[in-house]
Amino acid sequence: MKLETMQSSEKPLAERVADQITSLIADNKFQKGEKLPNEFQLAEAVNVGRGTIREAIKILASRNIVEIRRGLGTFVSEKTGLTDDPLGLNFVEDKSQLALDLIEVRAMLEPDIAALAAKRATKKDIEKIKQACKAVEEKIQRQEEFITEDIEFHEIIARSSKNQVVPNVIPVIHSAIKEQIKATNAKLTEKTIVTHRAIAEAIAQRDYEGAREAMKEHLRYNQEHIERVVKEKL
């Protein structure tokens, strides 16, 4: 206990400066994609040495809060603060169970998210959902890998829910699943086309119960598929 308190009060200077810059970004003093002032200016503004600023910037880059572009400067990252593995899923011990646990969490979240999207999506959102649905189908028809398009489809629905937390959670879970179950989607092509269409259609028609049920159905067969894959692996 004592140790922990000591830790936080004695946080290294560079980390405290990093936290300060983070607050500036969080308070919209700097926007996504915007270029930060240079080292000299930041050092002067925060009243620390340039070495400390340089260290703070490195910490911020490792947290995906800023992006260092060689020769161009430091910019506020577009995916502000989302690290590659924000939920520490790399550290989950039972990896073969992890894929099943991830789909279990998707089954909790995504049917409700689809229902919210049916209620709150703008006309523009609905267009994007239809396009994303089509993009998956085209990849499938060309017998190409479609994981990226598939994630995009679910992310657009997440954004259409207008819940600000959901679009930060969904990509994390999807990427983790992609990591766990690589190159197994090929077998799921037909069912993917049918159920994706049903989801997109229900959202377009503002049928929120229909959207919820279509997403449940979509995840149900995904779950069965992952269960088979995990069993084969064991």
Residue 200, token pair as written in the block: 């997109």
Can you tell me which residue has the tokens 């260290």?
55
Sign of the alpha-carbon dihedral angle for 145, 147, 150, 155: negative
Q: Which amino acid is at 121?
A: A
d(CA 5, CA 7): 5
Q: According to CB under 8 A, which residues from 13 to 42 bind its own copies? A: 14-15, 18, 22, 25-26, 28
The span of 46-54, 63-71, 181-189, 216-224 binding its own copies (CB under 8 A) equals 63-71
DSSP at 36 = P
Q: 13 CB contacts (<8 Å, ≥6 apart)?
A: 48, 52
Phi–psi pair at 145, nearest 5 degrees: -50, 130
Residues 121-160 as x/- pattern, contact with its own copies by CB under 8 A:
----------------------------------------
Among 50, 54, 69, 119, binds its own copies (CB under 8 A): 69
Q: Judged by CB under 8 A, does residue 234 bind its own copies? A: no
CB of 70 to its own copies, least distance (A): 7
Residues 194-233 as x/- pattern, contact with its own copies by CB under 8 A:
----------------------------------------
Residue 145 to residues 129, 149, 199, 225, Cα–Cα distance (Å): 19, 9, 21, 17
Q: Judged by CB under 8 A, does residue 178 bind its own copies? A: no
d(CA 194, CA 230): 24
The residues binding its own copies (CB under 8 A) are 3, 6-7, 10, 12, 14-15, 18, 22, 25-26, 28, 55, 58-59, 62-63, 67, 69-70, 79-83, 85-94, 97-98, 101-102, 104-105, 107-109, 112-113, 116, 163-166, 168-169, 172-173, 176
